[in-house]
Structure 1
Amino acid sequence: MRFKSVVAACGLLLAGIPAASAQGDYLEWAGANGLMGPLAEPDADLDTDGITNLMAYAFDLAPANDPDAWEKLPSLAFLGDPPEPVMTFVLPREIPRDVSYVVELVREDGKRVEIARKNGRGPWKGTGEIFRRKLDDGCTEITVETPLDMPIPEGDRPLRLRVEFLP
């Protein structure tokens, strides 16, 4: 299954489920997609493909069996000589106000260093090199490279994308 290789490469991580008052837009999305009760929980995965409701919401995917998921979710590549990690993903036309997209570098000691963050519809911030490319469908392809002054750890998963609710 392709998603397992994406998870292995990117180390997707779901973080913190907020109080209901902080989930306004998410709850609207869940209702519009017919999700109720436990199936509406941000960490629920209706079709057991590894894409939680929160990830589907953050990337404007259907909560089950979305054929476009693999083109929008993060992928990791190693480019250059020596090879350096590069993460690429596609943000929806309408970026949710109530989520943050956080790219982290995973050091050899296992500690994570945040290199890029986008809170809701605000600008990208961080020390990583962030490139944006507008796509024909109105979505935006994001590419994040590690900062030049940071050592790149050995291993096949040096970058992670974490999606979390904004406080």
Structure 2
Amino acid sequence: MCWKSVVAACGLLLAGLSVASAQDGYLEWTDANGLVGPFAEPEADLDTDGITNLMAYAFDLAPVNDPDAWEKLPSLAFIGDPPEPVMTFVLPREIPRDVCYVVDLVTEDGKRIEIARKNGRGPWKGTGEVFRRKLEDGCTEISVEAPLDIPIPEGECPLRLRVEFLP
């Protein structure tokens, strides 16, 4: 059997499984979703949609074929005159304790400056403006704006979101 067939078969089996509670931790989430071996690695992407297991876990998504994924993951818009970048994403009702969300500003020379950080269920910290809006389903929409005193580089993606495991 070829590798693509194995991945496709696993994807079909996993598509119907529910997402484990974020309070359980990453290992429990992988177990609840039937992910084993290399398929359980944080950087694995079974359905090749660009959403790794770690991102799916951090945003309370199913690891394979989640129809709500692109509504919850980060999006970037330019608002105002002059246009300023704003990153928006949706955090789950239960934020995992073992991940941290980091928003970086990418400078013109390609360096990343951290402007907002949320460690697990702790508060947001950093120089960026963080706005929260509670949604009807109990999730929270987050919008992050770059600090006004930092020049925004020309380009399509000046703000980026990273998800990391907490030490």
Q: TM-score range by the shorter chain?
A: 0.7 to 0.9
TM score, norm. by length of structure 2: 0.85
Q: Partner amino acid for 1:120?
A: G
2: CA distance, partners of 1:111 / 1:37: 34
What residue in structure 2 maps to residue 49 of structure 1?
49
- 1:109 and 2:109 matched: yes
The number of equivalent residue pairs is 144
1:95-147 CA-partner distances (Å, limit 9, x unpaired): 00000000000000111100000000000000000000000000000000010
Cα offset, 1:30, TM superposition = 0.4
What residue in structure 2 maps to residue 84 of structure 1?
84
% identical equivalent positions = 86
Q: Partner amino acid for 1:128?
A: G
- 1:73 and 2:66 matched: no
TM score, norm. by length of structure 1: 0.85
2: CA distance, partners of 1:148 / 1:50: 31
What residue in structure 2 maps to residue 34 of structure 1?
34
Q: For 1:56, what is the secondary structure of its paired residue? A: helix
Higher relative contact order (CA 8 A, sep 6+): 1
**Structure 2 alignment gaps of length 5 or more:** 1-23
Cα offset, 1:148, TM superposition = 1.1
Cα offset, 1:72, TM superposition = 0.1
Please say which structure displays the higher CA radius of gyration. Answer: 2
Write out the 4+ residue segments of structure 1 that deviate beyond 3 Å after TM superposition. Answer: none
